[in-house]
Amino acid sequence: MDRYGMITVKMCRYSVPVRFIDRKVTVTLTCDDLTVYDGRREIARHRRLTGRGAEHLVLDHYLEALLTKPGALERSEALHEARADGAFTAVHEAFWARGQEGPR
């Protein structure tokens, strides 16, 4: 994994939870899916991408980092992708609103 919480497989990039940055992970690849493991534990699953240079980001993979930098959410590529896919839920909206309030 790179320092941005991404792995590259067959020239495509996929997000992985940021707590695994700089860890060696194992990937299984099928014709439809890519699954990422830390040891025997599954830590991420993506639909397989086929376009060269394509990326798939999952907003939830970045929430831990955004707890310490809530202002970064507005500019994050993961947020824009989640909104475009309809994956930005009411829970995410509440998390973002809480981050905008600042520390308590």
CA-CA distance, 16 to 26, in Å (whole number)?
12
Residue 36 has φ and ψ, to the nearest 5°, of -115, 135
pLDDT value, residue 81: 77
Low-confidence ranges of the chain (pLDDT < 70): 66, 69-75, 96, 99-104
**3-state SS class at 53:** coil
Dig out the tokens for 91 from the structure. Answer: 């829970």
What amino acid is encoded at 85 in this protein? D
Do 25 and 38 touch, CB atoms closer than 8 A? yes
Q: What is the reported pLDDT for 73?
A: 60
The pLDDT assigned to 70 comes to 61
Q: Say whether pTM exceeds 0.85.
A: no
Residue 38: per-residue pLDDT? 95
Pairing of the two strands 26-29 and 6-9: unpaired
